Structure 1
Amino acid sequence: MERMTGAEGDTEFRPHSAHWGVFSAAWQGGRLVVRPHPEDPDPNRILQNFPEALRHEARIAQPMVRRGWLENGPGADPRRGRDEFVPVSWDRALDLVAAELRRVPMQRIFGGSYGWSSAGRFHHAQSQVHRFLNTAVGGYVRSVNSYSAGASNVILPHVLGPMEEISRRNVSWEQVAAQSEIVLAFGGMALKNSMVAGGGISRHIERGSMAAAAARGCAFVLIGPLRDDMPEEAKAEWLPLTPNTDTALMLALMHTLAAAGLHDRAFLDRYATGWPELEAYLFGREDGQPKDAAWAAGITGIPAERITALAHRLPGKRVLVTVAHALQRAEHGEQPVWAGIALAAMLGQIGLPGGGYTYALGALGHTGRRMNLVSTAALPQGRNRVGAYIPVARIADMLLHPGEGYDYNGQRLTYPEIGLVYWAGGNPFHHHQDLNRLRQAFRRIETLVVHELAWTATARHADIVLPVTMTLEREDIGSSQTDPVMVAMKQLAAPFAAARDDYAIFTDLARRLGREQEFTEGRSARDWLRHLYDRTAQDLRDKGFAAPEFEEFWQQGLLPLPEGPDTGGMLRAFREDPEGAPLPTPSGRIELHSATIAGFGYDDCPGHPAWLAPSDVPGPGAPLRLVANQPATRLHSQLDFGGHSQERKHRGREVMRIHPTDAAARGIRQGDIVRLFNARGACLAAAELSEAVMPDVVNLPTGAWYDPEDPAEDRPLCVHGNPNVLTRDVGTSRLAQGCTGQLTTVEVERFTGNLPPIRAYAPPEALPAAAE
């Protein structure tokens, strides 16, 4: 375990970690062989993307500068994204970046760097770039919240408490397995999502927990448009629901309970505020429309009698209401999050083991797990002296409309004017919506600097591209607050071509800016690993546990961490003592009506959960609803060129699922290449006929690398299957300004033309190296 050469040909298995699992790997017969952690009961196949990805043609071999920027200097340029690149030396590239960082004031620098970058706690690209911009430049314009949970991040603190508390320190998988009697899973609990966790995951327990609960008699009810958003082991009852109508169903369940006097008035009186206002809305005293089962049936597609029957099954049972990330990645995404809380409150279950409300259980591998008793390492990022920020999903708005005002969470903010965007870790051409609009936005900036390991669409739009190492090519420490194993992530391969790690790049840049000491604190990368580890080791010793010295930990490779008790967190404490442990809301209680939110005066997010009809609904030219969910064969767009991701594609295209009746109406057969289109754009995909998708709905996962047939066009055809050429770039509401990329409307037709080649992974055209 001591050899740290990373030589290709070394047959010793060494530990490493990724967001989708702890593993070990070795070289055998010239190929990297990856083995999951031996104690993982349900390993994630995404690990098998590594072998093919490591030396793939998509890797970036040396620093590159876009031709137009090199010739004309910084500035807006319509060629960005379709220009040629010129190879340069590392010294030339870093000199150019340093000059730009001196030229552009920190108030005009946006540190993008959003996305899952590494399970390692040190070589975590976002932490590295933010630390660099803070310590070596002084600060940067930042983003807040996430694409995954933009609406819930904002609404939950107003109504119940911080998302971290609700998702991580609340209802556990152990409680579900032992005590839940009915689980209402709005949006499901797909294993493809819970197989992933920030910082790594050594044991995937979700499938086994649901199987144990079902065997005990727990009834899982899957509510959503996709039948396989729950594993077969859950034996779930499927209620096919029209996408983005969950709130209407929740309101109808609440109305049915209240009309029959089956709601827990004692709980509402003691633990909640705002019930009279919500009750008046449910019974139509505000708008003349009772939110009963008959009303909801016409919206959701679920028969009224089935809604009523479901409501009557709930009282007297240990009921858990779960709301998936997916529900709030849509128009008015705040509402299902809030309505789910209200439904659980009416049942009087919040704070009980295996009951009440939890957000995103099953969405990520770190939810529903015990927290460790000790802290895990994180790279300190320094102080940002720039106060300006944007909600993360509003980047195109910021670049297209500098100086314009917008609403966010009760504030009136102004989009800053950005000259330089610095991106390290993440791929906005995966996360963002309406990619043709994003292309226009990126063409407006003066300089885009990107650290990347491969030629993503973001790298292709860059002015300066700096090649970085993959996680397998460096040492790190993998750890998470919700996984009981710390991993000495050993180097498994030499760096590809001229690639460097982010820390080495930023160290050289900080030296050019005269701020090397501030950035490095005099530590090498290995010194930082020892420093970060020692913080956890000291915490272990302070709590009475043994902890090896760093060198011993590094030799043994894995360190077990003690798990804390399953206490139920903030909500359990509140239930047991609402006066002594009030919630961190304005009232200290569950806010079924929020005077704060009502005071903002937002018509798209009123003071209580409400049905707000979406505007993006099927119509002429776009009669089908598209569900653009997370993929099963990769994390977002990461390693889309890896072996496991490629196995799921058909004829090189991403696979779109369609109900057989909708396919027959369009003359589409199994395996046909189809064109999905709407007013924003079009893409190709391969058709799979499936009854797991409800009629009038098609399902195309995100993450296929954007591949425009003709980049010179304003709305080029994506030949590979990226659904974000179709999705809308609008906020969930003025409250949260979250991402609405989960749903849109489209039409689908057989593609009958000459099939364009896939060029997503081929390096862009390079000119001869620049003279230096």
Structure 2
Amino acid sequence: MTEKDTKLQNGVRTYYKNLGLCSFAFGSNSAEIDVKDGKILRIRPLRYNRKYKTEQLRPWKIKARGKTFEAPMKSLLSPFNYVYKKRTYSPNRILYPMKRVDWDPEGERNPQNRGKSKFVRITWDEAAELIAKELKRVCEKYGPTSVLVQGDGHGETKTIHGPHGCQIRLMELLGGYTIQARQPDSWEGWYWGAKHVWGQDPVGQGRQANLIKDISENTQMILFWGCDPETTPLAWGGLQASRLCFWFTELGIKSIYICPDLNYGAAVHADKWIPVRPNTDAALQLAIAYTWITEDTYDKDYVATHTHGFDEFKKYVLGEEDGVPKTPKWAEDICGVPARVIKALARKWAREATSIAHNNGGSYIRSCYAHEPGRLEVILLGMQGLGKPGQGQLKLFEWQLFSLHDQNPMPRREIIPSPEGAYQGFTFPVPKQFIPKTLIPKAILSDEPIIWYGITYAGIPKEDQFVQYKYPAEGCSEIHMIWSDSPCWSTCWNGGNMWIEALRSPKIECVVMQHPWMENDCLFADIILPINTKFEEEDFGVDVLGDSFNVVLYEGQCIQPLGESKSDYEAVAEVAKKLGLYEEYTRGKSIEDLIKDGYKQSGIKDRISYEEFREKEYYVVPTAEDWENDEPGFSPFYKDPENNPLDTPTGKLEFYSVGLAENFPDDKERPPVPHWIPYGETHQESLLHPRSQKYPFLIVSNHPRWRCHAQLDDIPWFREIPTCKVKGPDGYLYEPVWINPVDAKALGIKSGDVVKIYNDRGWVLGGAYVTERIMPGVVYQDHGARLDPILPGEADRGGANNLICPTNTTSKNCAGEVTSGYLVGVEKVDIEKMKKQYPEAFNRPYDPYYGVRFEAWITEVKN
């Protein structure tokens, strides 16, 4: 740092941080943090040309239809970034180590009381010693694979300090571990379905290269299918997706939103909203295909030369296979879209260059049998000539995930920086024993070995889906200890109540959670370690998912750690000391050494010296000079499929999936040709199933508008917004439940009432928000609300509906999550009666600005 930079301007020092909220050491939302008198004053966009000349950056411009779209010279921060200082100073921060009061490692462990018992403060020395002793004990008794490391998504974007999995480095020194393999949550239907039609590793969504330019020049209609560009990208991609939507409208491109809810993107941008019942999109898609086939409006020449298995698909669509033609009228009764609207959409699509937009996929792709709409979408694109000008699948954010240039629809940057070298999180190869995240509860609770197909990491090639795995693996132990730095399982994934049951199993002898805030899975811990936020640590970061440029940052420490909090990296180091493995764990490197390692391996060392990088504190990667020449999307395949084959067995779009036919010939839930599957062996979450008589509503649960998954539920500025929380008659701010006026009238519900959403897996409360923005027969409640248990494992006041999601995975042979499109019942609640029935849960210390307070979960320290 230069002398000039150390001089404060009006007492304010500016730092630079990557404020992504759900990434593995990369993300979007680079920001400037102004600090005064040791406190965060404000958060502002990073000005790219603050320390670099604009011409050095070669800012891109897209010119189309007489208009210009150009790179902004500052990052497009979302509301999440601006409020994040409130999260740092939240009264729910964990400020010191704690132990569950009735967990005694030398006596009774009382696992049945996890989630009920309170916590007592202990010292760091005590906490580190307890964890070290438990690690030694379980490793000696059962073997190191008895320790489950939960180290993956839904946390702050960090590189050195705990980007999920610092425990792994220590566990490797102890001889191994079991890893929780994160399944491709936001890409389920693409990963398990679309991959088998067009290949497209790593996650199964289409090639993105230069699509924004192509769409701007050639597209006439965009289908935002199950997509909310004003919500989902906020925590990862800032406001660029929103900006793009305004740009498309300015160009005269029609935006059609197909989703059960008039979401925030649809409310602002839609030329037409087509409400469709959750998890029925496959029926709508098949009816569109039927219209094209019977009206002879699909691209027959393209289908003949670029696809495989069309005849088999055609037989199913026309009803030759099952006697049921997939007509628009047939689909209307299933999906709720009038037949005339289906035909009008199909005909307009056949006439005009059409692209489909997603933010990974949203609830549309995270439901039962989500691989079927995922496959059918690709087939529809193929029937109209995927790769033609203006015809593709646009991914609105997380553009350069996995460091692939062809995953970015924006103008190409010169390089994609990597945090490798400084990165301390989980790494490949996969260890000897792993369990897909969706199967952890089943693995713990089952008395028999469990089997599944695929490692399930989003970056694994599709062929891995044909490999069978088992837990316990050969020569490995069952799980007896859990060490987590991502304690949001109960509020982010499927079957949360079953997860709580698993955490309380007597098989699990010790649960360690490390986290900045007292929330969610932390309530079920035996030992809790206080972790600091990004602002309280020095780090190295990269921003490769951003709006205009790729950025590499030196992330200075903005403020001193609050209380006794440490970073994840430092917390694990404390345990390493007790095990006599500190030098091996740190490899003798300081934080400065690790920052320098990150710089060396990031890809920028030949562009800027380390000294200049530290002086300027960030480096902006310029736009590539030749970006306009990049072939967009699937254009190479469209022009020459023989020399540009897809990564499928036939090299073509597979309407009939060869790999599925060879490996799962008897799978009725994911057959070689995609089908409409209302229910089956794995799921009965359909209005066509008898269960719907008891649970008559389908719930849609999106990525939340005012949170990032389970983060930010204690931000007072958000909680004041009516669509963020609904104030109940008891003064509690409940998670909103959108209900159509027709349904609300029948149920005797009005806005502001407290309602219960329930099924055979449990129940959660919410605040009624009566609106025509949700279609009849459907209710809507965002996922990820902060846990506030009424009966742990059964009922929740906070509205954490992940607790009552299906426990079963996407389908029989697909270990994906199901977090939307399932059956529920809804009823009005007498809150005064409920308060008398559950006095302990309804009398916790509570602040409407921050939710249930930290002290609700702790007991006084006795001298």
CA RMSD, 1 decimal: 2.9
Closer/same/farther in 2, CA of residues 228 and 171 from structure 1, 3 Å limit: farther
Task: State percent identity of aligned pairs.
Answer: 24
Q: Does 1:610 align with 2:675?
A: yes
Using a 3 Å threshold, how does the CA distance of structure 1 residues 622 and 115 change in structure 2: closer, same or farther?
same
Amino acid at match of 1:661: V
Measure how far apart 1:239 and its partner are. Answer: 0.7
2:31 paired with 1:23: yes
SS of the equivalent of 2:789 reads: coil
The residue aligned with 1:591 is: 654
> Equivalents in 2 of 1:663, 1:512: separation in Å?
59
Kindly indicate whether residue 205 of structure 2 is the aligned counterpart of residue 166 of structure 1.
yes
Structure 1 residue 301 displacement after superposition: 1.1
Q: Is the partner of 1:210 in helix, strand or coil? A: helix
Cα separation, 1, equivalents of 2:648 and 2:107: 51
Give the equivalent residue in structure 2 for 1:373: 414
Note the alpha carbon deviations across 1:354-400, whole angstroms, 9 max, x for none.
31234x54588976445543232131656667323222222211111
CA distance in 1, matches of 2:725, 2:204: 38
CA deviation map 1:76-96 (0-9, x unaligned):
720111123232221221122
Question: What SS class does the counterpart of residue 332 from structure 1 fall into?
Answer: coil
Which residue, out of 250, 263, 277, partners 1:228? 263
Is 1:355 equivalent to 2:391 in the alignment? Answer: yes
- Deviation sequence 1:414-468 (CA, Å, 0-9, x none): 3332111111135112112333222111112122111111111211111121111
Could you tell me how far apart the structure 2 residues matched to 1:624 and 1:363 are? 32
Correspondence for 1:762: 854
Contact kept in structure 2, 1:120 and 1:476, CA below 8 Å: yes
Q: In structure 2, the residue corresponding to 1:763 is in which secondary structure?
A: helix
Question: Is the counterpart of residue 180 in structure 1 residue 223 in structure 2?
Answer: no
Alpha carbons of 1:254 and 1:532: their partners in 2 closer, same or farther (altered >3 Å)?
same
Q: For the Cα contact (< 8 Å) 1:732–1:739, is it kept in 2?
A: yes
* Distance in 2 (alpha carbons) for counterparts of 1:421 and 1:597: 35
Letter in 1 for 2:44: R
For structure 1, the residue ranges without an aligned partner over 5 or more in a row are 542-546
Equivalent pair of 2:161/2:570 in contact (CA under 8 Å): no
Contact 1:178/1:213 (8 A) holds in 2? no
Give the match's secondary structure for 2:231. helix
Match of 1:646 in 2: 719
Letter in 2 for 1:642: I
Cα distance in 1 between the residues matched to 2:30 and 2:600 = 21
Q: How far did 1:136 drift?
A: 5.0
Whether the 8 Å contact between 1:148 and 1:739 is mirrored in structure 2 is: no
CA shift in 2, pair 1:124/1:265, >3 Å:
farther
| Corresponding residue of 2:342 | 307
The alpha-carbon distance between structure 1 residues 519 and 72, as it changes in their structure 2 partners (threshold 3 A), is: closer
Partner in structure 2 of residue 544 of structure 1 = none
SS state at 2:513 partner:
strand
Other-structure match for 1:475: 538
Distance (Å, rounded) in 2 between the aligned partners of 1:429 and 1:708: 11
| Distance across 2 between alignment mates of 1:364 and 1:441 | 36
Residue 377 of structure 1 contacts residue 535 of structure 1 at CA under 8 Å; is this kept in 2? yes
- Letter of the aligned partner of 1:189 in structure 2? D
Count of aligned positions: 755
Structure 1 partner of 2:364: 327
Conservation of the 8 A alpha-carbon contact between 2:749 and 2:768: yes
Contact 1:486 1:560 in 2 (8 A): yes
Q: Which amino acid aligns with 1:55?
A: Y
Distance in 2, matches of 1:762 and 1:167, equals 44
Select which of 791, 794, 802 maps to 1:715.
794
CA apart distance, 1:558: 2.8
- 1:568-616 CA distances to partner (integer Å, 9 max, x unpaired)? 5773333333223322222222111112212312111111111001321
Aligned to 2:305, the other structure's residue is in SS state helix
Q: Return the match for 1:397 from 442, 450, 465.
A: 442
- Is the 8 Å Cα contact of residues 138 and 385 (structure 1) preserved in structure 2? no
Q: Distance in 2 between matches of 1:511 and 1:159?
A: 51
- Range with greater deviation from structure 2 (599-608 or 119-128): 119-128
Q: Corresponding residue for 2:92? A: 58
Is the contact between residue 540 and residue 554 of structure 2 (CA under 8 Å) also seen in structure 1? yes
Instruction: Classify the secondary structure of the residue corresponding to 1:70.
Output: coil
Aligned AA for 1:393?
T
1:284–1:290 Cα contact (<8 Å) kept:
yes
Give the match for residue 825 of structure 2: 747
Give a deviation string over 1:512-545, Cα, whole Å, max 9, x none. Answer: 4444444323211222112102222546x3xxxx
More displaced stretch, 492-501 vs 151-160: 151-160
Task: Trace 1:68-217 onto structure 2 (pairs within 5 A).
Answer: 68-70=102-104, 72=106, 77-102=111-136, 103-104=138-139, 105-135=143-173, 137-160=175-198, 161-164=200-203, 166=205, 169-170=208-209, 172-197=211-236, 201=237, 204-217=239-252
TM-score computed with the length of structure 2 as normaliser? 0.82
When structure 1 is superposed on structure 2, of 701-710 and 518-527 the one drifting more is 518-527
Change (3 A) 1:171 1:667: farther
1:367-766, aligned counterparts within 5 Å? 368-370=409-411, 372-374=413-415, 375-378=417-420, 379=423, 381=426, 386-401=431-446, 403-408=448-453, 409-416=465-472, 417-444=478-505, 445-483=508-546, 484=549, 485-538=551-604, 541=606, 547-564=607-624, 565=627, 567-568=630-631, 571-599=634-662, 600=664, 601-614=666-679, 615-618=684-687, 619-647=692-720, 648-651=724-727, 652-711=733-792, 715-716=794-795, 718-754=796-832, 756-757=842-843, 758=846, 760-766=852-858
Question: How many angstroms does 1:635 deviate by?
Answer: 0.7
Tell me, yes or no, if the aligned pair for 2:726 and 2:735 is still in contact at 8 Å: yes
Kept in 1: contact 2:150–2:484 (CA 8 A): yes
Q: TM-score, normalised by structure 1?
A: 0.91
Q: 1:2-38 deviations in whole A, cap 9, x for unaligned? A: 7999x9x963232222116222233469663222335
Q: Which runs of 5+ in 2 are unaligned?
A: 21-27, 48-72, 402-407, 454-464, 473-477, 728-732, 836-841
Tell me if structure 2 keeps the 8 A contact 1:460–1:764: no
After the TM superposition, which of the residue ranges 236-245 and 375-384 deviates more from structure 2?
A: 375-384
Cα 1:157–1:363, aligned 2, differ >3 Å: closer, same or farther? same
**Shift in CA distance, 423/740, structure 1 to aligned 2, threshold 3 Å:** same
Aligned-residue offset at 1:248: 0.8
Equivalence for 1:14: 15
